[in-house]
Amino acid sequence: MISISHLYFSYTGGAPYLLRDLSFNIEEGSYASIIGMNGAGKTTLMRLVLGFLSPSSGWIRVATKEIGYVPQTDPTSMAGFPITVEELLFSFASAKGMPGSDRDEAVEDVLEAVGMAGMKRSLFPSLSGGERQRVLLARALLGENRLLILDEPSTGVDLRSQRELYALLKSLNRQRGITIVAVEHNLAEAVASSTELIHLMDGRAHICSPAAYQEEEKKELVPDRNEG
């Protein structure tokens, strides 16, 4: 689904590079979480995949143009704009060029998929953080997108809603085969939900399974008794 080869990136156009010699693939049907410390380049890598930024050198190839993007929720977003959930999705579907007959059915389907069909006439600004994130996820699913890219999906979402959100993401991935790439600060959920982790550190990318990542973390915490 996504191929990256010898990617370098710098906001200045030259050294020092924020991302250095990244090469890896994200296969179709994967759930990949991008993790790392603040400033490691997680959001930058996401923006490169989305095409918002261009590599300084190397390349990125994405096998589909049908990409759903879920940004971070903003508590002040549309705070004074009285738009309903349904109207928000209708406007987005229309902007994508969906004809009216297809649009209505598509909006109903995605709201059903994220468990928000019963709140379609609720005002978007009045929703909780978790409910807003579900609506944004529904918007990203419009058009039968096979690739979802999320930017820190649990930001501004309470713990209970986080559990529900990640269960929904896992279902979309495992049951529907949708490829998911998420920038994550929620390490516990990233480990629990992902099929693979992309760990950015010192400009490099280390790709591993959640189980392998946990084993590596344990080794760092437990001193080697054979040393010294």
Query: Is residue 119 assigned to a domain?
Result: yes
Listing DSSP states for 32-63 in one string gives: EEEE-STTSSHHHHHHHHHTSS--SEEEEEES
| DSSP assignment letter at 226 | T
**Can you read off the two tokens belonging to residue 194?**
């992902």
Query: Is residue 165 assigned to a domain?
Result: no
Q: What is the pLDDT of residue 160?
A: 87
Query: Is residue 108 assigned to a domain?
Result: yes
Same domain, yes or no, for 156 and 222?
yes
Q: What is the pLDDT of residue 228?
A: 47
As a whole number, mean pLDDT of residues 24-46 equals: 94
| DSSP assignment letter at 7 | E
Query: Is residue 59 assigned to a domain?
Result: yes
| pLDDT band at residue 15 under the 50/70/90 scheme | confident
Same domain, yes or no, for 56 and 155?
yes
Same domain, yes or no, for 227 and 153?
yes
Same domain, yes or no, for 54 and 105?
no
Same domain, yes or no, for 59 and 153?
yes
**Model-level pTM greater than 0.85?**
yes
Same domain, yes or no, for 125 and 77?
yes
Q: How many residues does the chain have?
A: 228
Q: In what order do the strands lie in the sheet with 2-9?
A: 19-26, 2-9, 57-62
Mean pLDDT (the chain) is: 88
Number of domains in the chain: 2
Query: Is residue 168 assigned to a domain?
Result: no
Q: Which residues contact 75 (CB under 8 A, 6 or more apart)?
A: 129, 156
Q: Report the sign of the C-alpha dihedral through residues 172, 175, 179, 183, in that order.
A: positive
pLDDT digits (tens, 9 = 90+) for 85-139: 999 999 888 888 877 778 888 899 999 989 898 999 999 888 888 888 899 999 9
Q: What is the pLDDT of residue 213?
A: 86
Same domain, yes or no, for 179 and 130?
no
Q: CB pairs under 8 A, 24+ apart, for 166-170? A: 166/192, 166/193, 168/114, 168/115, 168/134, 168/137, 169/31, 169/137, 169/193, 170/31
Same domain, yes or no, for 53 and 154?
yes
As a whole number, mean pLDDT of residues 5-10 equals: 96
Query: Is residue 226 assigned to a domain?
Result: yes
| CATH code, 44 | 3.40.50.300
**Can you read off the two tokens belonging to residue 176?**
């529907």
Same domain, yes or no, for 45 and 115?
no
Query: Is residue 29 assigned to a domain?
Result: yes
Query: Is residue 52 assigned to a domain?
Result: yes
Same domain, yes or no, for 2 and 60?
yes
213 vs 122: CA distance, rounded Å: 41
Give the phi and the psi of residue 70 in degrees, each rounded to 5: -115, 105
Same domain, yes or no, for 84 and 28?
no
Residue 40 structural domain: 1-64+147-160+174-228
**Can you read off the two tokens belonging to residue 175?**
């049951």
Alpha carbon 201 to chain centroid, angstroms: 19
pLDDT digits (tens, 9 = 90+) for 150-190: 999 988 888 888 898 999 999 999 988 999 999 999 999 99
Give the phi and the psi of residue 61 in degrees, each rounded to 5: -125, 130
Q: Confirm if 2 and 25 have CB atoms less than 8 A apart.
A: yes
Same domain, yes or no, for 78 and 42?
no
